[in-house]
Structures are given as C-alpha cells and as structure tokens.
Chain A
C-alpha cells in the first residue's frame, strides 16, 4: 500500500515536472523561432523524451488508481469517466475560446499564449485519455476469460511500445509503419466487441448511459478537432498529432465509447425482456430459498402473487386460499368482489372451476361476453399437489392472446415451485411438531410410569392385583394407595382428561393432593370436595378428572367410598352370590368449580364379607373396542366376574384381561387401561 502511494506521488511529481519542462522548452523554442536571427534551440529529442515521460507518468498513475470493479454499478463508472475526464474536453474548448476572444479583442498575435493554450490542452487530452483508457479497461474486462486478459495485456504492451516511435522521432505515417498501424486498429476493433456489461443495464440505466456516452463521444470529437486543426500549423513549434500513441489511445477510447453507445442504443428495445427474465430467475430463487429463511406460507403466497403478476404483466388478478374446502380470497388486484363472484358463478356453471384453464379470447365466449368484463384474457392456475388443493390463482389481461405459451410456461413454473415450497414448509413444520410431540409423549409416559406404585402392601386379609397399560396417544390413568393406619388403607383410582404432558402433569397434581389430604385422614366425600376445590384453581377449562377413593378398614370389615364421575365399581358379594355395580351419584372433579360441588358427591359405606371381590377400573376397559367398533361394555365385565369370582385376585385379573384382549384383538389400544382386583380373604391378620 505504501509502495502504491509512493509510486502515485512519484508519478504525479514526474508528470508535473515533465509538463513544466516541456512547456518552458517549447516556449523557448517558440521565442527563438520568432526571433529569426537568434540561434535555433530546436531540441526535438528532448521534447519527445519529455512528452513520453509525461504520457507514461499520467497513464501509469491512472493505472495504479484504477480500482477493481465493485458490484455492477456501471452507471457509476460512466459518470466517473464523464465527470473526471470528459469535462476536460469542455474545459479545453473553453480555454481555447477564451484565447480566441482575448486575442481577437486585443487584436494582437501572441504565439507564446497560443503555445501555452496548446500545451494546457495537451495536458488535458492526456489526462482524459488515461482516465478513459483505464475505466474502459475495467469494463472491457468484465466477466473476462484468460484469452481476453492476455489479449488485453498484449494490447497495452504494444500501445506503450508505440511511444518508442515518438522517442526515436520516427514518423509513424511513413509507409513502413502504416500497415502496423492498421493492424493495431483492427486489434482495437476486436477489443471493442467486449461489451458484456451493457447487458446488465436496465432500461432506465441504458437511457442514462446513452446520455453519458454521448457526452464522452463529444469530448473525443472536441479533442480530435482541436488537435487536427493545429496539425502541421506553422504557428506552432510542436505538433502532438505526430505522437502515434495518442492517436491509437484516442482510437481505442473513441471506438469503445461508440461501440458501447451503439450497443446500448440497439439493445434498448429488448432490455425489458432481459430485465423480466432476470427478475423471474431472482423470484424463483427467492421462492426456493423461503424454506431456509423460515418464511410463512402467507409470505410464499405473497411472493407468488406479485411474481406472477409481474411475469405475465397481468392487469387484474386474485388469489383464493382453500381452507377446509372453502375458497377464501386473500389477494386482490384491480378487481372487486362482485366481479369475482360473477366470474366464479360462470366457471361453476361451465364446471371448470378449480382446474387449469386458459381463455385467451373472452369475448368469443357468450358467457363471458355477458359479464361485460373489461378484460379479454383469463388464466386459472391451481396450486395443487397430488393430494391437496392449496389455492387458486386467477390472472386477467385486457388484451386478446394475453397469455402466450412463453408466459404460461413461466407462470406454471412459478406455481409448481410454490407448491413445492408450500409442501416442504408443511413437511418441515410437521416433522418439527412430530419431534416435539414424541418428546412430550416420552416425558409423559416416564412421569406416568413413575407415578404409579410398583408394589402394593400385601397382607393376609386381602389380595390385590393390578393391571396398567398405557396407550400411545391418550393417557391419564393413575392409581395409588396410602396406609392410613395399621388397619386402614386408602386406594385411589383416577383418569385425567387430555393427553400428553398436560395429563401427566395433572396426574402428578392429583397424586400430590391425594397424599397431602389423606395425611389428615378424612372421609372420601370430604376428600373429593377438597380435591375439587384445589383442582378448580389449576385445571384448564376443558379438563376434568374422574376419580374414586376407597378407604378399607379390615378391623371394621367394611369400606367407605366416594365416586367423582369415575366408572362404577363392580362388586361380587359372596354372601348373596350377587355381582353388581354400585350405583352411586358423583360428579367429576373440575366440572363445577365452586362450593355447589359439595352437593354433587355422595359417600357410601359397605360391609364386606370374606370372599367378596371388588373390581376397580377405568373407562379404557369398558370402552375398549373390537375391530367391528363395538365396545367391551360393563355387561361383559360383569359377566366375566360372575365366571371368575372364586379364583385368586391375580387369576381374576388375568382372566378379565385375556378376555379383553381376545375381544379387541392385537394392537388395538386407544386409551389407557387400568384394572385393580381386590379380593377380601377370610383369614384375620396376626395380632
């Protein structure tokens, strides 16, 4: 960097010194030429050397200061070229006119002043050429390949080599050099065909660039005119048209500007097509990237609507989103609801709604003609995958044959890209949801498993056998026990409505309430009232819990129980040899959330006999379904107990569960199944 800055200042200094020296030398020569008698100070070689040094330092300075192309702001470069170099020509013409006016006004001949003007204009010309040369180089090498780079490097080298001619004071117009010069000209013409950057200009940018290019062309012309006016002038001791390098550089700058001007001019009518194409491409890209950018479906439809209108140049359009089979207009352009309704009615009458449809001449169709719509062409594009219709896009144009094959293809590509995007968006969302759901279920089932006691107290006055099967989807069954005193045990069973993590959470709450309240040893109905009051504050509105609580006292040989919306208890009485359900009233917990709940729960006391069997279960048992969608029912459960009451608790349970599984068939579990069988035994506990 330091080297570059140093080199730049060195070039600037050299340029200024060489220019001043050249000026003074010329002035000296002119002065001596005027005083005919004085000795001739002609030093052509010295002048040529200074000229070459000046040109070289200015060109090399510009070469260093030219930056690499940044972006595609070509107008910026053209403006830079015009403002920094093109204006030099206008400055030079102003200086010359000033000189003409002043000499004309004062009516005097001042060769010295003329020489100064000529010399200043020479400086401006070199500045202009150097700046233009290197800005054109950047644009010319836009999207370069290796061949072009080499061609350019050779051109630059050859061009600088022509400075040698000047240095050695050869006349380039001599017959030896003319063919070489012509070859150089062809080389320049070849280079001028590299105008890739013009294609990237939009219509408005091209118009602006035409103005700028025209101004630059005018600058070239002014310089040419000026210097050729003074060519071989007897008034001047020096003639810069003799410098071949300048001619070639001017040829290059002039030709390239002209080529750019003409190409811009002739590509002006077609530029809108390329603009459209590149915009279409960009929109495709945006559509396909919308998944990564986490955009919503609405944003995708917004993009589709805008892009298709622009791609087809439609005058009116609307988009319908299909929700639950009903179309819903979400986007509108230049059309009102009443017109939409009329068009839809007509399409429905023709039975062509919701299908791919193009009508490029609506006036020819009597139905459409009667609608007196201001449009003449209609295209309907369904956004439809194999399985699902997402929406319908309607585009209208006010000219016949408005939707040609090319436009239709682009539109179809847009719609298929949209379908792909929407489907992918849904898939991504679904898999995320599934992942979360699975995770939730895993937590829920772990919680559920941990909440259910693994062992029951065993005693010689009763047997208990349990069965608990958690369904994948629905869950919320639980049971628990608490030894209240030596002779009393509390058993609770319940079912939480809902599933997943919230059900597991409420189960945990219920377990907490059970253990908390039963520490105070209260009757079952009181427990239900207090549990209801506690749950009322935390259960969400649509959730409730069914539960039943039993307190068995073997010293009293009886049990007390209360039911809160839970399944009726099945009982076998060994004395009467009867199997029946306890028909007690009781409202589920969390249904009424105030004190009036207290009237809705009943308590019952029952004396048991040895050999009695109590079956406690959840609705997953009696509502289990078979392949024919029939329920297991309370009757079948009751029948099973009448057949098995004489067995041990464990065997009764197994018999019921086996029968249930025979009934439902394998892999047909929709709800949690919980079953507790308690059999009272005749033997008394040890004292």
Chain B
C-alpha cells in the first residue's frame, strides 16, 4: 500500500495505491488523524489503484466520517474500481459517502 497526497489550495487529494488491509489501514488512519488535515475544506480520495479494501480499511473511513462532517469538510471518493465500489455498496456506505466516477466530477461536487 502506498499513500500519497497532493495539495492544491483548500483541496487535498489522497491517492491510495494497492490493497488497504489491516496493516496499511493503520498508516491511512495516521494520515487522516493528522490535525493538519482539518485545514482543508475538501478531501478527495483517488481510488484508481485501490484493488482491495478490508473491513479495517472501511473502519478507518467510517471512524473519520463524522469528524469531517462536523467540520464541514467534504470527503469525496473518485475513480473507484467496481469491485471496491461493490464493497462500499453492500455495506450501505454509498449512501453516506460521496463516490463519483472521475476527478473532474469530484471537483465540481466539491465546489458546490
């Protein structure tokens, strides 16, 4: 798992590369727990190369969901593979989180 981020003004784009399992979700949790991240109003998660997400990985997003919502930070997933999207959908997360097909769409929604 490789986690990188790119900052553009008030937007942070986090790119997930590989499999988000129990061990790598710890790194993601560290990244999302960083108080610095609350500076941004939009968090876009690029899932293009995310091949697998375990329940631990989902748990990390779930645990930060409420915090971001309270701080009015938009959390948007884009470029998600069908397999991963299916996992989100089965769990019912697609109704709670914003999942869009590409970066441009993510930017449009984020700017709304």
- Smallest distance from the beta carbon of B37 to chain A beta carbons, Å? 17
Does A521 sit within 8 A of B, measured CB to CB?
Answer: no
Q: Are A588 and B63 in contact (CB under 8 A)?
A: no
Known contacts: A565-B91, A566-B90, A567-B90. The answer to whether A544 contacts B55 by CB under 8 A is yes
Q: Mark B40-83, 1 if CB is under 8 A from A, else 0.
A: 00000000000000011011101101100000000000000001
Q: Give the distance in Å from the alpha carbon of A593 to the alpha carbon of B66 in the complex.
A: 10
Evaluate whether A568 and B90 lie within 8 angstroms (CB atoms) in the complex, with A541-B63, A542-B60, A544-B55 already known: yes
In angstroms, Cα B56 to Cα A499, docked, is 10
How many of chain A's residues have a CB under 8 angstroms from any CB in B?
25
Is A321 at the interface (CB under 8 A from chain B)? Answer: no
How long is the Cα–Cα vector from A566 to B66 in the complex, in angstroms? Answer: 22
Q: How far is the CB of B87 from chain A (nearest CB, A)?
A: 8
Q: B31: CB under 8 A from chain A? A: no
Query: A591 near B90 (CB under 8 angstroms)?
Result: no
Inter-chain contact A544/B92, CB cutoff 8 Å: no
Tell me whether B83 and A591 are in contact (CB under 8 A). no
In angstroms, Cα B90 to Cα A564, docked, is 9
Q: Which residues of A contact B65 (CB under 8 A)?
A: 591
A 531-571 to B, binary, CB cutoff 8 A, 1 in contact else 0: 00000000001111010000000000000000011111000
Known contacts A498-B55, A499-B22, A544 near B95 by CB under 8 Å: no
User: How far, in whole Å, are A205 and B39 apart by their CA atoms in the complex?
Assistant: 63
- Give the Cβ gap from A322 to chain B, nearest Cβ, in Å: 17
Residue B7 interfacial (CB < 8 Å): no
- The docked-state distance in angstroms from the alpha carbon of A276 to that of B87 is 65
- In the complex, chain B residues whose CB is within 8 Å of the CB of A546: 90-91
Of all chain A residues, which has the CB nearest B67? A541
Chain B minimum-CB-distance residue to A594: B66
- Is A497 in contact with B90, judged by CB distance below 8 angstroms? no
A600 B95 Cβ-Cβ under 8 A: yes
The complex places the Cα of A497 from the Cα of B92 at a distance, in Å, of 15
Whether the Cβ atoms of A592 and B55 lie closer than 8 Å is no
A586 within 8 A of B: yes
Contact (Cβ within 8 A) A591 B62: yes
- Contact B91 A587, beta carbon cutoff 8 Å: yes
Min CB gap B85→A, angstroms: 13
Contact status B92-A588, CB under 8 Å: yes
B91–A588 touching, CB < 8 Å: yes
Chain B residues near A631 (CB-CB < 8 A): 83
A544 engages B62 (CB within 8 Å): yes
A587 touches B92 (CB 8 A): yes
Are B90 and A542 in touch, CB under 8 angstroms?
Answer: no
Q: Is the CB of B96 within 8 A of A591?
A: yes
Given contacts A497-B55, A498-B55, contact A591 B29 (CB under 8 A): no
- A449 sits at the interface (CB 8 A): no
CA distance A544 to B88 in the complex (A): 13
Partner of B90, one of A499, A541, A565: A565
Q: Report B-chain residues with C-beta under 8 Å of the C-beta of A544.
A: 55, 58-59, 62, 91
- Residue contact B59 to A497, C-beta cutoff 8 Å: yes
Q: How long is the Cα–Cα vector from A631 to B53 in the complex, in angstroms?
A: 13
Q: Does B110 sit at the interface, judged by CB under 8 A?
A: no
Query: Does A430 belong to the interface (CB within 8 Å)?
Result: no
Q: Does B13 contact A (CB under 8 A)?
A: no
- Chain A residues with Cβ under 8 A from B100's Cβ? none
Q: CB within 8 A of A542: which of B29, B92, B95?
A: B29
Assess whether A156 is interfacial by the CB under 8 Å rule: no
How distant is B99 from chain A, measured CB to nearest CB, in Å? 15
A270 to B60, alpha carbons, bound, how many Å? 64
The 10 closest A-B pairs by CB, nearest first: A587-B92, A542-B59, A497-B55, A541-B63, A565-B91, A542-B63, A588-B91, A565-B92, A591-B62, A497-B59
Q: What are 18 A-B pairs with beta-carbon distances under 8 A?
A: A474-B22, A495-B55, A497-B56, A541-B62, A541-B63, A542-B29, A542-B60, A544-B58, A546-B90, A546-B91, A565-B90, A565-B92, A567-B90, A587-B93, A588-B92, A588-B93, A591-B65, A600-B96
Binding site for B on A (CB under 8 A): 474, 495, 497-499, 541-544, 546, 564-568, 585-588, 591-593, 600, 619, 631
